Amino acid sequence: GSDDIIAGNVSKYVVLPAGYCGQPKKGHLIFDACFESGNLGRVDQITEFEYDLFIRPDTCNPRFRVWFNFTVENVKESQ
């Protein structure tokens, strides 16, 4: 559930529509936070254009999430 502890960063995580099989197409977003200061722990797709992003807590104070750092690739025009 959403209360799970998020331990690591997503690494080139491809979001595919439910039931889709095959290679990612343009518009199937690829999230990545596997780099220094990256802190994206989980991505849930809600609709075609809506995502819930779960940011890992700050290293020195797990009560806070005061910044975010990740990349998104494979977007299509007007997405």
pLDDT tens, residue by residue, 9-52? 889 999 998 889 999 999 999 999 988 888 999 999 998 889 99
E strands of 1-79, at which residues?
A: 13-14, 30-32, 40-47, 50-55, 71-73
Q: Per the structure, how many domains does the chain have?
A: 1
User: CB–CB of 21/68 below 8 Å?
Assistant: no
Identify whether 1 is part of a domain: no
pLDDT at 59: 74
Whether residue 31 is contained in a domain is answered as yes
The answer as to whether 2 is a domain residue is no
pLDDT, tens only, 52-78: 999 988 777 778 777 889 999 999 988
Query: Residue 63's pLDDT is what?
Result: 82
54 domain residue, yes or no: yes
Q: 64: how many CB neighbours lie within 10 A of its CB? A: 9
Question: Quick one: CA torsion of 42, 44, 49, 53, rounded to 10 degrees?
Answer: -30
Distance of CA 24 to the CA centre of its chain: 16
- Give the pLDDT confidence score for residue 4 in this predicted structure: 59
